[in-house]
Amino acid sequence: MKENIWCLENVNLYHILCPHKLKGYSKGHFQNYKSGDFIYFPGDTSKGIFMISKGKVKIVSYNKNGDEVVKAILGKGEIFGEKAILGSNERADYAMACTEPTLLCPMDLPSMYELMRNNKKFGLSIYKLIGLRIKKMERRFESLLFHDVRTRLCEFIKDLAEEKGVKRGDMICVTHFYTQKDFADLIGTKRETVTRLFNELKQEEIIDYSRKEIQIYCLEKL
């Protein structure tokens, strides 16, 4: 009974959690949000988790000056609010829809637990999902601890490329929806520094970029 679930690169919970196949567990319908709508606030009771069926969701917090700090941007098939499973009964961040429309598939906790107990495979998928989140987190942490800003930005772009890069000729194009402020938040620096680095990388002909796209000429040099 060797269970090497870790070797799979992605858990696709979409087809498991999708409400069509889960009548009786999920509420059987999607929630629809407009761009800018908050899905939950800090302090809200954690009643369950969400899977993104369509659109993008930002997980954010606000610093003491009231500026928005982006902690993650998630897309279709991705899950958020999963700390509820781990016994966190209050949400700690804001979750905000940032596309229109944003469709979410909510799933309440008791159903989750029941499913996890009854469906071994599902349970392991959830563990794996959480494990991956932790790994990602640890990776960010170590990066912050050991690497300078430029290295961090390069790693981030490489990750983006791997995740959603498209080959076009001998370059890789990544379409994204981050502002430079978002990049800065995500790698732990300031917007101005990101601007400077983007231009530095452009100068060195490693990448080129516009608002919503990055073209990578030379992945190795990143």
- In angstroms, the CA 96 to CA 36 distance is 6
Under the rule (CB under 8 A), what is the footprint of a copy of itself? 1, 3-7, 63, 83, 85-90, 109-110, 117, 123-124, 127-128, 130-131, 133-135, 137-138, 140-141, 144-146, 188
Among 189, 207, 214, 216, binds DNA (CB under 7 A): 189
Quote the least distance from Cβ 35 to a copy of itself, whole Å: 27
Which H or E run includes 203? helix 191-203
- In angstroms, the CA 57 to CA 100 distance is 10
- In angstroms, the CA 192 to CA 184 distance is 8
Q: Is 129 left (phi over 0), alpha (psi -120 to 50) or beta?
A: alpha
Beta-bridge mates of residue 108? 48
Residue 211 engages DNA in binding (rule: CB under 7 A): yes
Residue 191 engages DNA in binding (rule: CB under 7 A): yes
Quote the least distance from Cβ 90 to a copy of itself, whole Å: 8
Quote the least distance from Cβ 155 to DNA, whole Å: 12
Quote the least distance from Cβ 146 to DNA, whole Å: 9
- In angstroms, the CA 105 to CA 64 distance is 32
Residue carrying structure tokens 């302090």: 43
Quote the least distance from Cβ 211 to DNA, whole Å: 5
Site for DNA in 144-183 (CB under 7 A): 148-150, 179-181
Pick what 137 binds: DNA, a copy of itself, none; C-beta below 5 to 8 Å, kind-dependent: a copy of itself
Which H or E run includes 14? helix 14-17
Query: Closest CB to a copy of itself among 63 and 203?
Result: 63
The vertex-74 CA angle with 185 and 57, nearest 5°, equals 90
Pick what 175 binds: DNA, a copy of itself, none; C-beta below 5 to 8 Å, kind-dependent: none
Quote the least distance from Cβ 66 to a copy of itself, whole Å: 15
Query: Closest CB to a copy of itself among 102 and 185?
Result: 185
Beta-bridge mates of residue 97? 57
Query: Closest CB to DNA among 9 and 148?
Result: 148
The two structure tokens encoding residue 171: 């370059």
